[in-house]
Structure 1
């Protein structure tokens, strides 16, 4: 058993499940359904954030995340399956401050996509600017390029969708994700928000791309244009280069202590 497999099994254990279920502060959908670009064959991807007990922060025990999949590891998820990850609030904050495009979606979930919420989640959604910086722009570009390169066969694919290549000549799901990331990166650096689901007319265009109604050249042109827009927005200097760690650390300390007090853990 390799180290990656070992880590995934540990993240799925009953101890971590109990921590996640009893301490989740925000949870909701983060997959294609959230973006409004879904098919009947899609699984459901959810993400959550929890506040781990004091022993896992002050003591030697560690909790970073809990994972659950309807299908066993290595089996491709299908319609009706659930893929769930629940991060510790500290890990989620680190990833979000670094500009991770997936984890920061929780800041902008509409109410109908939220499964669990608390005063902590409400504070996060009310203050997304605490985590936004130029670094997010760089990460959106990196994720866009990763999806593009996988589409072009330049990187190892994490999922295998030969059926899309057979029908359309390229993996249209990789293409859709690359363009989506570009659109959302532009909106984030322009307005400090991400609108979910993706507004029209882009939502229809993305759905058409995913269904093979746009060519590979059209998709690549759109990716290049969106990447250029993000680079210009980074260069304009409207956002700080990095999220302020003192602001985030201060908020985390106050939030953890208040949560533990409310739970009777300290």
Structure 2
């Protein structure tokens, strides 16, 4: 794994949508693939390409009084348009905001910490130190977030969340939104692994990965998908209710704050930003 410059990574990309902190890419320390590809459940010719990264804010953004976004979003499609195969969606979070998301157990934010080396797009010494902290940042809060996201995807699959599903082509082909269903089942499996073992394996291990792919391809009926989701979801809920987990109930906020403070000061000093 080698350090790569942001300009080199994005050289062949034309961003049609950009908003957030315009200086984020100047101090990027980590970027990885996220989304279906890193889970091992991408279907060739159908999925877009998602990346998530972390950057260090300028001292003025942390210590000053001006407005700070704490994130940057770039897409190769115009604002308001759905991404399709071949499109790229990028989101960068400031280190402070990223750690806050991780400490809540946000399932997507956890991915750069556990992504295999082959899916690391850009890294630095700080990025590697951040990834090494991954297991220490987990708590049972993550299990609750996985469960909440699972339920949200299940509701969307059933069309009960915010109107009709936004992938009518899947409903027309399979009778239900198989992508929502696969997301719900994946979240159930991964939430169980996080709570039960204190880790997140990427890509998904077998046989869980194959079952999720069967649901995503429409090879299982909606009733079968619901049965899988509800059974695994109930198991995750039971684990959380019983406290049967090697993870602490809550993250150690003092320890993470101390680590974050030390890393910001170190980065600013090393890059001549501390004066």
Instruction: Normalising by structure 2, report the TM-score.
Output: 0.88
From 31, 44, 50, the counterpart of 2:35: 31
1:254 equivalent in alignment to 2:258: no
C-alpha distance in structure 2 between counterparts of 1:111 and 1:89, whole Å: 20
After TM superposition, list the pairs within 5 Å mapping 1:1-266 onto structure 2: 12=19, 16-17=21-22, 19-39=23-43, 40-61=45-66, 62-156=68-162, 160-234=166-240, 235-238=242-245, 239-266=247-274
Q: How many corresponding residue pairs?
A: 255
C-alpha distance in structure 1 between counterparts of 2:136 and 2:126, whole Å: 14
C-alpha distance in structure 2 between counterparts of 1:94 and 1:78, whole Å: 30
Which ranges in structure 2 are unaligned for 5 or more consecutive residues? 1-15
Aligned to 1:6: none
C-alpha distance in structure 2 between counterparts of 1:265 and 1:201, whole Å: 49
Do 1:56 and 1:63's aligned partners in 2 also have CA atoms closer than 8 Å? no
Q: 1:196 to 1:250 in 2, by over 3 A?
A: same
Q: Deviations over 1:65-90 (max 9, x none)?
A: 00001101111111111000000010
Aligned-pair Cα RMSD in Å: 1.8
Name which of structure 1's ranges 112-121 and 223-232 shifts more when overlaid on structure 2: 223-232
Q: 1:20 to 1:157 in 2, by over 3 A?
A: farther
C-alpha distance in structure 2 between counterparts of 1:96 and 1:35, whole Å: 18
Q: 1:108 to 1:122 in 2, by over 3 A?
A: same
C-alpha distance in structure 1 between counterparts of 2:113 and 2:77, whole Å: 28
Which ranges in structure 1 are unaligned for 5 or more consecutive residues? 1-8
Report the alpha carbon displacement of residue 124 of structure 1 after superposing the two structures with TM. Answer: 2.1
Query: Alignment partner of 1:21: what SS?
Result: helix
Runs of 4+ in structure 1 off by over 3 angstroms are none
Query: Alignment partner of 1:102: what SS?
Result: helix
C-alpha distance in structure 1 between counterparts of 2:198 and 2:172, whole Å: 39
